[in-house]
Amino acid sequence: RRGVAFVLACSSAFAASSEADVARLGKDLTPLGAERAGNADGSIPAWTGGVTQAPAGYKVGDHHPDPFGGDQPLYTITPQNAATHQARLTAGQRALRQTYPGYSIPVYPTRRSAAAPQRIYDATARVATTARVANGGANVEGALVGIPFPIPSSGIEVIRNHQHRYRGEAANRHIGQAAPQRNGSYSLVEFRDGFMFNYTRPPVSAEELDNVLLYFKPAVVAPARLAGTILLVHETLDQVRETRRAWVYNAGQRRVRRAPNVAYDAPGTAADGMRTSDQFDMFNGATDRYDWELVGKREMIVPYNSYRLHAKDVKHADILKPLHINQSLTRYELHRVWVVEAKLKAGASHIYPRRTFYVDEDSWQILAVDQYDSRGELWRVSEARCIQYYDAGLFWSTLEVHTDLQAGRYLAIGLDNEFEMFDFTLKRSPSDYVPESLRREGIR
């Protein structure tokens, strides 16, 4: 097995996986590169294909019923037993438990639910011997549709797998975002998001990509004072060679303007200063300001199969509580994750000089991030509460929670319980994501 300790150097490209390594995909490794077998004591089971069938009675358009609804917690981590489990908690989880005495972590049986369509598995095997990190880590060459580095040998390869992972072909979402005050009061910001995942849409050629990984168009629909603002992003593959293309429609001015600052540590949209632009989707955008070290793979207690936070019978107010979300609605499991340390390069700037990422081996979804301030103190803790969207064959977050330990507040993104369910069936093309469309879609 190739070594896992690696710090990104400034070479022009990194070698692709060998044919011998790639031959393991679908055998002792899953089609996306995870270890198929369980762990030694059986607390992590073998991967048997993930959840590909909906529970009885489900129909497209429903909020997704929990296929593991009968599970009960194996144990709950509390102040009384925390020492027993410290080694399997992230630094952020330990800090949350210490900061908030009532903070509990319910741990359920591990269910390796992540799955993707066969065409993604086939493409992964196809590109694994040709994919290369290029331009000092800023770009991926020789890859299309599949996970580029199913057998990673560097931190940047793991992060790129997250950015290139399968999230469907196109999606529309109606979601809420809230940043509660310490007393629990909040104002809900509503978005209607549109995505087209250019890298994984069929059929697409390297020429048709036009250096665009995905298209993203979030529109604010509430509250009234913010409604009508629309952002359009063309997420470029190589953001050093060509920075992210972004435009914003301002409803008050009825004008479309370029938005060059929607990147790095610029404030997130309507987030009350509680996250940076590159924290959305746990990490997005250019990778050039950090050195990325692959620490290795560890067994960690992480949020997983968070169907209760996605349920139709749960209200947003049931989730949004003072200081942190309602932990009784959460679910954690023991999974193997890749651990990546990102440290700011000399001369580069970012409000987070250091970040630690915990990346799911089965899906390449970042599940948790610890973010540190300039003093080296843990500042913000991020967790992605994910589910397998079995109707669309993809594993993705249903709720992101970014907690500011120093402010005693948090930001929740993706609240969907009281809205219609995501639409993964629509057909989109790049022509649906042009700047001229923003003015037509302005609603105020």
pLDDT tens digits, 106-136: 999 999 999 999 999 999 999 999 999 999 8
What are the pLDDT digits (tens) for 416-435? 999 999 999 999 999 999 99
Q: What residues contact 127, with CB distance under 8 A and at least 6 apart?
A: 142, 143, 144, 145, 146, 147, 148
**pLDDT tens digits for range 341-397:** 999 999 999 999 999 999 999 999 999 999 999 999 999 999 999 999 999 999 999
**Residue 250 predicted with pLDDT over 60:** yes
Confidence band, pLDDT 50/70/90 cuts, at residue 7: very low
**Which whole number is the average pLDDT over 317-345?**
98
Amino acid identity, position 420: E
Q: Are 158 and 359 within 8 A, CB to CB?
A: yes
CA distance 193 to 282: 17
| C-beta neighbour count of 175 within 10 angstroms | 19
Angle at 413 between CA 285 and CA 115, to 5 degrees: 70
**The pLDDT of residue 13:** 47
Are 197 and 212 spatial neighbours (Cβ–Cβ below 8 Å)?
A: no
Query: How many Cα atoms within 13 Å fall on the side-chain side of residue 4?
Result: 14
Is 25 in contact with 125 (CB distance < 8 Å)? yes
Q: What is the pLDDT of residue 204?
A: 85
CB 123 within 8 A of CB 409: no
| Beta carbons within 10 angstroms of residue 140's beta carbon | 26
> Given a cut of 90, is residue 11 above it in pLDDT?
no
Query: What is the CB neighbour count within 10 angstroms for residue 343?
Result: 19
270 vs 110, more confident: 110
CA–CA separation, 437 vs 300, rounded Å?
44
pLDDT of residue 15: 60
Question: By percentage, how much of the chain surpasses pLDDT 90?
Answer: 86
What is the average pLDDT value for the chain, to the nearest integer? Answer: 93
Q: What are phi and psi of 440, to 5 degrees?
A: -65, -30
167 vs 226, more confident: 167
Question: Is 12 a residue whose pLDDT tops 50?
Answer: no
- Find the mean pLDDT for residues 15-26: 89
pTM score: 0.95
Going by C-alpha positions, the residue among 131, 132, 130, 134 that lies closest to residue 12 is 134
Give the model's pLDDT for residue 440: 76
Over the stretch 52-74, which tens digit does the pLDDT of each residue have? 999 999 999 999 999 999 999 99
Rounded mean pLDDT, 315-336 = 98
**pLDDT of 2 higher than 70:** no
Digit-coded pLDDT (tens) for 143-190: 999 999 999 999 999 999 999 999 999 999 999 999 999 999 999 999
pLDDT at res. 252: 79
Residues 248-259: what's their mean pLDDT? 88
More confident residue, 318 or 206: 318
Q: Check whether 10 has a pLDDT greater than 80.
A: no
Residue 434: what pLDDT?
94
The per-residue pLDDT for 263 is 93
Q: Are the beta carbons of 369 and 340 closer than 8 angstroms?
A: no
pLDDT bracket for residue 442 (50, 70, 90): low
Question: How high is the pLDDT of residue 206?
Answer: 86
Note the pLDDT of residue 220.
95
